[in-house]
Amino acid sequence: MNNTIKFSVNSQNNGKRLDVFLTENIENYTRSFLKKSIKNKQVKLNNTEIISPSTRIKYKDQITINVFQKSEQKIIPKKIKLNIVFEDKDILVLNKPKGMVVHPGAGNNEDTLVNALLFKYKKNLSDLNGTLRPGIIHRIDKETSGLLVVAKNNLTHSNLGSQFSKHTIKRKYLCLSWGVVRPLSGKINTLITRDKKNRQLMTVSDVNGKKSITNYKTIKVFNIKDIPKISLIECELETGRTHQIRVHLKYKGTSLLGDKQYGKKNIKFKKINNEFFTKLNKLSGQALHAKTLEFVHPGTKKWMSFNSDLPGSFKKILKFLENLSS
């Protein structure tokens, strides 16, 4: 299957190597794979085939890449209820529930957000990110809840994509983490790459990877008897790498409540509040929620700001901690 992806180069990427640009902007493909794609004449720069990965791109260049899938994957539209926060002819802002995968992938082909979008909007979605991800500009992890913006046409997709690339879109998350992050607020600026020991995970690297920036602020530290210290933290993303907040918190020596991938395995408590322990086990995934999303509307040019409520399990455990600490 031929999956076509298109890009318009913004000013921040002027002079960058073609293979580096593609690696930074296409998820789930390695730099070596994309280099081979370039050498195999699968990439066009301003409608001209390019075979050199080291080609320098320029502002306003148009890039098209044809990524060949090993086998055709048919996406079946499925009636799934969507929590729509805002909608007009250009965009759709929705609140993704915990447990929903954004787009089809290995082991997740039927109950994704894309399946739901195709059922409701059919072909009225952008296709700049390929036929497997109609309307999808960005994504959040399966077990993370919160706000996403979807593009209904290619012009909107291109505009929002440019805002993401320029880091002008504001994305704020709320999370609960074990212990206290020091300092209480700051900027985490690292490279993030795939973990060599476990390819399903990401890790911080001093040598290679994608530039990743998270600004964080500790809102409150809960220091309650028979409960380990817990921090309520607001994280604002400048970049949006896979598992970025979870990887950065691990880098700072902590992890999110309920995070079974990046947290400690089988946490043992000498003494624990039973009611808290019950609520902790009901989290069913990490305590991480994409609460705020702000951007310039591609059509009206107005500044749009959206906020969403915390999901039930997150809200209950937070309320429990606040009641005990008051």
Which residue do the tokens 């993401």 mark?
164
Two structure tokens written together for 104 = 């089809």
Q: Is 305 exposed, middle or buried (0-12, 13-18, 19+ CB in 10 A)?
A: exposed
How far apart, in whole angstroms, are the C-alpha atoms of residue 128 and residue 64? Answer: 10
Rounded to 5 degrees, φ, ψ at 246 are -65, -40
How far apart, in whole angstroms, are the C-alpha atoms of residue 23 and residue 199? Answer: 16
Active site residue 127: no
How far apart, in whole angstroms, are the C-alpha atoms of residue 243 and residue 43? Answer: 28
Q: List Cβ neighbours of 36 (8 Å cut-off, separation of 6 or more).
A: none
Which residue do the tokens 């044809």 mark?
66
Catalytic residue among 19, 141, 206, 309: 141
Cβ atoms < 10 Å from Cβ of 189: 13
C-alpha distance from residue 277 to each of 166, 179, 246, 267 (Å)? 42, 16, 22, 11
Two structure tokens written together for 21 = 């640009």
What is the per-residue burial (b if ≥16 Cβ within 10 Å, else e) of 241-275? bbbbbbbbbbbbebbbbbbebbbeeeeeeeeebee
Q: What crossing angle do the helices spanning 18-25 and 31-39 adopt, rounded to 10°?
A: 130
Contact in structure between 290 and 171 (CB atoms under 8 Å): yes
How far apart, in whole angstroms, are the C-alpha atoms of residue 192 and residue 181? Answer: 19
Cβ atoms < 10 Å from Cβ of 100: 19
**Which are the catalytic amino acids?**
141
